[in-house]
Amino acid sequence: MGGHAAQSGAPAPVPVVRECAGCSRSLGHARARWPWPASPRDRRRTRGRPAERAAHPCGPAVRGEVLIVGAGPGDPDLITVAGLRALRRADVVLYDRLAPAELLDESRADAVLIDVGKTPGHHAVPQERINELIVEHARRGSVVVRLKGGDPYVFGRGGEELDACRAAGVPVRIIPGITSAIAVPGQAGIPVTHRGISRSFTVVSGHVPFDDAQYRALAGIGGTIVVLMGVNTMRQVVTGLARGGMRADVPLAVVERGFSEARRTRVATVGTAGAVFAGDSPRSPAVIVIGEVVRRAEVDPLDEAALQARVESLVGAATP
């Protein structure tokens, strides 16, 4: 990645005078501050390398650290206080598309923002390289925040990043986030558990379809099933659950683009999902919810009427 220092005519770093928190001694040019563009949008497009921290005149070299932060389900207001504090003190922020872009405005003006954007089926920066970047910047003495959508430990590969830091001897800490597996259905009026309806929920990844034994187990466990990363395999998932013994009339909801102005909730059943969504396939990011709790979903009235008419026409066509 090319930094500002490598660009022709780039401004020189501006020295920043700091004091030691322990002895109040002036550290002089303890760390160079890069004069990044003021616009957060410009900074998001910037690729840079932070200045390394100099050895502390009062003691050993400053050690870097890594904070793996869950940014929540899409609404910037739903990041935790601890996550926001970490973001505001970061020297380097590695982020992807599932973390709310507005949160980058909370980072320091001189922070380096690195887009490691991932889209379904396309990882512009492989996970192994992300791990390397995290470690490289931390070893230079930087406070590194890896900003991730949802919770780092719910299909977020946060464990892999934590392992990479530990293997490299880099201090690392996880700051949990609100997972979309619970929050996105909740925003659509769907509780994953509800007294008298569902006393358990299972969160699964739809990235790779299950085998028949696993589908039978899922269909038999009862409760609510939440599928993440499942828009491209939804047909296989619902047919697999049907083969595993799940009733065709079990309701199903797809909540697309949760916590955005473009959020859309559509409902069907296990038996009708393939046909209902055939003409307008769900798009990522989306959360699929399967179970009786879906009957509590808050669906747009126009959308609901259209879906009901579609379901009735399909049922009528299938009736001999």
pLDDT of residue 313: 53
pLDDT of residue 312: 58
Please give the CATH number for the structural domain made up of 4-177.
3.40.1010.10
* 113-154 pLDDT per residue, tens: 999 976 655 567 999 999 999 999 999 999 999 999 999 999
Contact in structure between 154 and 144 (CB atoms under 8 Å)? no
pLDDT of residue 209: 81
Which residues have a catalytic role annotated? 96, 118, 229
| DSSP string for 47-108 | ---PPPPPBPTTSSBPPPEEEEEE-BSS-GGGS-HHHHHHHHH-SEEEE-TTS-GGGGGGS-
What stretches in the chain show pLDDT beneath 50?
A: 1-61, 302, 314, 317-318
pLDDT of residue 124: 78
Between CA 242 and CA 271 the distance in angstroms is: 8
Between strands 201-205 and 224-228, the pairing is: parallel
3-state class (DSSP) for residue 139: helix
The whole-model pTM stands at 0.75
pLDDT of residue 43: 45
CA angle, 245 as apex, 242 and 251 as ends, to 5°?
Answer: 55
Q: List the 65-70 sheet strands across, edge first.
A: 112-115, 92-95, 143-148, 65-70, 172-175
pLDDT of residue 208: 86
Closest CA to 32 of 17, 45, 47: 17
Contact in structure between 168 and 137 (CB atoms under 8 Å)? no
Sign of the torsion angle spanned by Cα atoms 65, 126, 211, 255:
positive
- The domain ranges of the chain are 4-177, 181-318
pLDDT of residue 111: 98
Contact in structure between 155 and 228 (CB atoms under 8 Å)? yes
Please give the CATH number for the structural domain made up of 181-318.
3.30.950.10
